[in-house]
Amino acid sequence: MSPESVKPEVHKPMNGAFFEREPGRVARDLLGCLLVHGEASGRIVEAEAYGGREDPGSHASTGPTPRNRAMYGEPGRAYVYLCYGVHEMFNVVTRRRRLPGAVLVRALEPVSGVDTMRQRRGVEDVAKLASGPGRLTEALDVSRRYCGTDLLEGELRVERGEPVENYGTSRRIGLGVDCDRELRFFERGNGFVSR
């Protein structure tokens, strides 16, 4: 079975072939999958794709560094970095080892552990718990300590979900370079997509 033919199945473990594809394909197919950390989980409703040296918007565009080392590792691992010294950003490593690629998970629709997420975020409104990349890492308690973690099994993992057929695309958010490519994928009409 080729990686391109892998389709999500509801709430089942992932396999490595799912992530051994181009970041754009993985980003699109992550929509509807679950991101789980302990008792808290959410459906992925928004994601952005980032390539390697050919992508000026990617951390890997200038080659390997201590910060982006996880992007050069095994697909299906976490790449977590600090943005502007404030927000932890959770990414899933794609492609093959030493060929960097990643998908930034931008928003989740909370599924379980909602009260725990509320406590962590100090927010009551469910729509504001994980509707943004910094919010979702705070809600799920994901930080750089998970950078390089295998997401196929364990406490922090991605599980297959119901595929999202009604999705939209747009330019990636917050980039000053390579702004024209539509590499942001989101579930249309979902109120948990970031604003």
Spans of all domains in the chain? 3-187
Task: Specify the CATH number of the domain 3-187.
Answer: 3.10.300.10
Copy the structure tokens of residue 89: 């950003």
Helices 114-121 and 133-140 pack at an angle, to 10 degrees, of: 110
Beta strands per DSSP E along 2-39: 34-37
Whether the CA torsion 106, 93, 166, 109 is positive or negative: it is negative
Instruction: Check residue 177 and give its pLDDT.
Output: 67
- Whose structure tokens read 């552990």? 113
Q: For the CA atoms of the chain, what is the radius of gyration?
A: 15
Residues of the chain with pLDDT under 50: 1-10
Predicted TM-score (pTM) of this structure: 0.90
Instruction: Check residue 5 and give its pLDDT.
Output: 39
Instruction: Check residue 12 and give its pLDDT.
Output: 66
